[in-house]
Amino acid sequence: TGEKLKEPPLHIVSISVEMAPIAKVGGLGDVVTSLGRACQEEGHKVEVILPKYDTLDYSAIQDFKEITGFSWGATYNRVFHGKVEDIDTYFIDPENGMFRVGMIYGTDYLEIPMTDAERFGFFSKAALEFMLQSKRQPDIIHCHDWQTAPCAKAYWEDYAPYGLNNPRVVFTIHNLNYGAELIQEAMTYSQAATTVSRTYRDEVSGHESIHENIGKFHGVVNGIDPDIWDPANDDFLPRYYDETEVIEGKAACREALCAYSNIPNKPGVPMVGIVTRLTPQKGVHLIKRGVMRALERGCQVILLGTAPDPTIQQDFDMMFHQLKQNHHDFMAFHLYYNEPLSHLIYAGSDLLLVPSMFEPCGLSQLIAMRYGTVPVVRRTGGLNDTVFDYDVDHKKAEWEGMKPNGFSFDGMDDGAIDFALDRAINLAYDKPKDFRALQANCMSQDWSWNRPALEYIEIYHAARKPY
Ligand code: ADP
């Protein structure tokens, strides 16, 4: 075998509507930032183009300033630049104010004459226009989900013939549940497409928007940013810990978590954490069942979650008040979004419950493991690729070069989740030494972007090959 030719660095521009930590709603925002950072660390040049929302967290943007502007789309678009987590980020601010509405998603419900699809359709093309006008010629335009799916066709039809012609398009599906009708077009017009786990790739491969393009469709399991999620260096925790002081570290975090939640700490029983959007995807009825089962087994439970749907939010509000009336004093629901609290829950829990009905990749189970918290998950999508059941997945884990690291279940009824949760709780109660060993397995596994970033870089190169 000859020496591998070193390919020149790539210039990658991600066009996205979410970016952690300044404009994050879910996993998409995390991926754009942490994949970008990982590619930069491999020596490539990464830029992100984002709408300039009025809700941006400016405290996390360095050297923010207006750099240029252009008239396009019946408005003037100001362009700002700043560094986000060390990534060059460009912000587009149309003067018609479509991104000055106090939110990232949800204008469909407001008295604004534009839907989310129209706002992001505008943004997708404005980003291309900015690239044309600033004479950028990146190697890769990376677009994400239905929001920036319109980039793919617009690039090939309206920009490639007119001078912005070096780039090839890579399109990533973070969640096919939204805007699937926009996704087919991007699948057709992109040179390579990805989704965020191998199992999810297989699960959606029969979908009409995908099967015609299955040959260029890859499953790459997401990573997490090891600097942001690092128990040994996490300023949101009252105490840092690494593999050698898991017990003490987690005990201190649990203490702080209970204090924050205004509940007594009961250190002898498992702490069950839940960090999630409360949407049908996440298995709302299974979340409720899991809370009940954990309480029946004497565990403490802390849930952090927001429901975009007000009836689901009210549901959890009601459940919480009923539980309190029934003297469940050792549990808490935090029904809002709170990044620092999420860190405290990942660190202070023993088990993290993720009973999703479907889950393209899922980040919370990966984060939990890094903090020595054992995931209990429904076996679907990325959860199937990353969680290996303590009792039944020894062989499967071995094939992947992994060790068992959690508990899984298949069905969607009470019995199914109870069975997995009970096995986890039993191990914690009855065999604390074995439970500690399982926590150590979790912490020892590398869920960073090291490996997936290399897969993406290969896909970027493949997208540039003539076909
Ligand atoms: P999805 O993208 O479907 O929401 P993921 O598991 O891929 O699910 O990503 C969820 C991310 O959002 C994780 O980083 C998780 O910690 C975070 N998160 C979810 N809900 C909350 C919340 N209420 N407060 C803080 N962080 C949250």
Condensed to tens digits (0 to 9), the pLDDT of residues 418-457 reads 999 999 999 999 999 999 999 999 999 999 999 999 999 9
| pLDDT surpasses 60 at 1 | no
| pLDDT surpasses 60 at 142 | yes
| pLDDT surpasses 70 at 278 | yes
| pLDDT surpasses 80 at 5 | no
Q: Reduced to 3 states, what is the DSSP secondary structure of residue 60?
A: helix
Q: Which residues pair with 50 in a beta bridge?
A: 91
Q: Within 10 A of 338 (CB to CB), how many other CB atoms are there?
A: 14
CB distance 337 to ligand 1 below 6 Å: yes
Contact assessment for residue 52 and residue 94, using Cβ atoms and an 8 Å cutoff: no
To 10 degrees, the CA torsion angle through 98, 103, 106, 109?
A: -80
From the number of C-beta atoms within 10 Å of its C-beta (0-12, 13-18, 19+), residue 27 rates as buried
CB distance 145 to ligand 1 below 6 Å: no
DSSP of 85-139: TTEEEEEEEETT-TT-SS-SS-GGGTT-S--HHHHHHHHHHHHHHHHHHTT---S
CB distance 225 to ligand 1 below 6 Å: no
- Residue 404 has what pLDDT? 97
ipTM of this complex: 0.99
Going by pLDDT thresholds of 50, 70 and 90, the confidence category of residue 209 is confident
Q: What percent of the chain has pLDDT over 70?
A: 97
Contact assessment for residue 272 and residue 331, using Cβ atoms and an 8 Å cutoff: no
CA-nearest residue for atom 4, ligand 1, is 26
Q: What are the structural domain ranges in the chain? A: 11-223+450-464, 231-444
Q: What does the pLDDT average to over 237-255? A: 97
- Residue in 15, 18, 35 with CA at minimum distance from that of residue 277: 18
- Residue 467 has what pLDDT? 60
- Do 11-223+450-464 and 231-444 share a fold? yes
Residues 6+ positions from 221 with CB-CB distance below 8 Å: 196, 197, 198, 361, 382, 385, 386, 452
pLDDT per position as a tens digit, 162-205: 999 999 999 999 999 888 888 999 999 999 999 999 999 999 99
Contact assessment for residue 139 and residue 167, using Cβ atoms and an 8 Å cutoff: yes
pLDDT per position as a tens digit, 406-428: 999 999 999 999 999 999 999 99
Going by pLDDT thresholds of 50, 70 and 90, the confidence category of residue 112 is low
CATH 3.40.50.2000 for the 231-444 domain, yes or no: yes
CA-nearest residue for atom 24, ligand 1, is 337
Going by pLDDT thresholds of 50, 70 and 90, the confidence category of residue 2 is very low
Cis peptide upstream of residue 94 (ω within 30 degrees of 0) = no
CB distance 276 to ligand 1 below 6 Å: yes
Q: What does the pLDDT average to over 235-260? A: 97
Sheet holding 75-84, edge to edge: 61-72, 75-84, 87-94, 45-51, 11-15, 140-144, 168-173, 192-195, 217-219
CATH 3.10.129.10 for the 11-223+450-464 domain, yes or no: no
- Residue 266 has what pLDDT? 97
pLDDT per position as a tens digit, 345-382: 999 999 999 999 999 999 999 999 999 999 999 999 99
Mean pLDDT across the chain: 95
Per-residue DSSP letter, 214: G
| pLDDT surpasses 60 at 38 | yes
CA-nearest residue for atom 18, ligand 1, is 276
Q: What does the pLDDT average to over 22-29? A: 91
DSSP of 232-258: GG-TTSSS---GGGHHHHHHHHHHHHH
pTM of the full structure: 0.94
- Residue in 414, 369, 372 with CA at minimum distance from that of residue 387: 369
Contact assessment for residue 253 and residue 238, using Cβ atoms and an 8 Å cutoff: yes
Residue to mutate (ligand 1; options 18, 196, 257, 275; most atoms within 8 A of CB): 275
Contact assessment for residue 240 and residue 234, using Cβ atoms and an 8 Å cutoff: yes
Residue to mutate (ligand 1; options 17, 277, 341; most atoms within 8 A of CB): 277
| CA 31 to ligand 1 centroid distance, Å | 12
| pLDDT surpasses 80 at 110 | no
Which atom of ligand 1 lies at the shortest distance from residue 224's CA? Answer: 14
